[in-house]
Amino acid sequence: MEVYFDNSATTRCYDSVKDIVVKTMTEDFGNPSAMHLKGVDAEKYVKEATKTIAGILKVQEKEILFTSGGTESDNLALIGGAMANKRNGNHIIITSVEHAAVSQPALYLQEQGFEITYLPVDVQGRVKMETLEAVLRPDTIMVSTMLVNNEVGAVMPVEEIAKLVHEKSPKALYHVDAIQGFGKYRIYPKKMGIDLLAVSGHKIHGPKGIGFLYINEKVKIIPQILGGGQQSGMRSGTDNVPGIAGLGVASGQIYKNLDENVEHMYQLKEHIAEGLSQIEDIRINGMPLREGAPQILSISVMGVRSEVLLHSLEDKGIYISAGSACSSHKRKPSATLSAMGMSKDQIESTVRLSFCEENTIEEADYFLETMKTLVPMLRRYSRK
């Protein structure tokens, strides 16, 4: 049996997504900027995807900007937003558990003269609201937090954060990295007070290399890719019609059965957590199971290095992650787990399981049976 529990790294494309991607690459392959019929036909796919996504978020279609994925969306939000609003101040706040797609642009902005404040988190991985309130200033121009942490599944109180940010620092933009949250939660940026929202397609059974950034119509942002002036000059370059069409289909499909999908993932998560509790010295990290994100389960198998467990499970046809797959093949100590106060031994023993609606209880049972025999053996081996 093959078991893929690494859906936070990437997901299998829906069949419906594959079909529309192939169709727009081989039949309706025109350039949407062209004025002839082939171009008009291609543009229809872009408009349909925009309509679908705007409807899900309950925003205007003109507020959706397509990008190459979550990393570009985050970069554009932080760098473009900071540069456009630097006359209002130079103070930016991010959390200490952000993905590199946010933390690296923040470092770049620091080099450009912006001041960056890093918010601590509690042992569950959530922002400490009292600290946020204390560090917000009149010259704060941006606050950036994830919705769902990609390593432990901690869910940030984004509505509460937005309210506090806009009350204490009215000139500040609130950016949310929703790359692990879109398709798992209903997100309404205008109602929730979110100014900028980043999403990636391949986390929701869409294609790789496509994403979008929601930009509130009142937000000033400086484009980072210049050229032919596509997408109202906000991001030049020929529209990735197959990617955009696939993203639109994936978004529509994942939200069609959202409640059932989420409940299924929570049940898988609880079933596996219960089974793992029968194995000695395995710790569940992050928030209580039903309070954290439905698709992510972080565990520490004490006495077994994460890489050893990962490759041993791979030999059995089970695929999990030893951390975020989005950075590189080189493992570094996890900033998220360190910020949560974990010991070095626990960090080195931590792996992530991440689910989707296509995973089954049978797969979960196979994983648990494998762990029951594998973990004691690996612990004995590590002691030699």
Distance set, CA 30 to CA 51, 82, 99, 226, 249 (Å): 20, 36, 36, 22, 19
124 contacts 154 by C-beta, under 8 angstroms: yes
Closest CA to 161 of 181, 149, 175: 175
Residues in Cβ contact with 158 at an 8 Å cutoff, skipping those fewer than 6 apart:
145, 147, 176, 192, 194
**CA trace torsion 200, 206, 207, 210 (10° rounding):** -30
DSSP-based three-state secondary structure for 134:
helix
Which pair of structure tokens corresponds to residue 349?
């023993």
Q: Is residue 356 annotated as a catalytic residue, yes or no?
A: no
Q: How many residues are there in the chain?
A: 384
Which pair of structure tokens corresponds to residue 318?
């089970």
Residues in Cβ contact with 262 at an 8 Å cutoff, skipping those fewer than 6 apart:
184, 294
DSSP conformation class of 13: P
* Chain CA centroid to CA 1, Å: 28
One of 127, 326, 351, 364 is an active-site residue; which one?
326
Q: What distance in Å separates the CA atoms of residue 219 and residue 116, rounded to the nearest whole number? A: 21
Residues in Cβ contact with 202 at an 8 Å cutoff, skipping those fewer than 6 apart:
10, 11, 69, 208, 209, 210
Report the number of secondary-structure helices (H) and strands (E) in the chain.
Answer: 14, 12
Cα angle value 212/358/153 (rounded, 5°): 60
Cα angle value 76/56/235 (rounded, 5°): 25
Q: What distance in Å separates the CA atoms of residue 117 and residue 96, rounded to the nearest whole number? A: 9
315 contacts 302 by C-beta, under 8 angstroms: no
For 353, phi and psi rounded to 5 degrees? -105, 135
Residues in Cβ contact with 16 at an 8 Å cutoff, skipping those fewer than 6 apart:
249, 253
Residues annotated as catalytic are 326
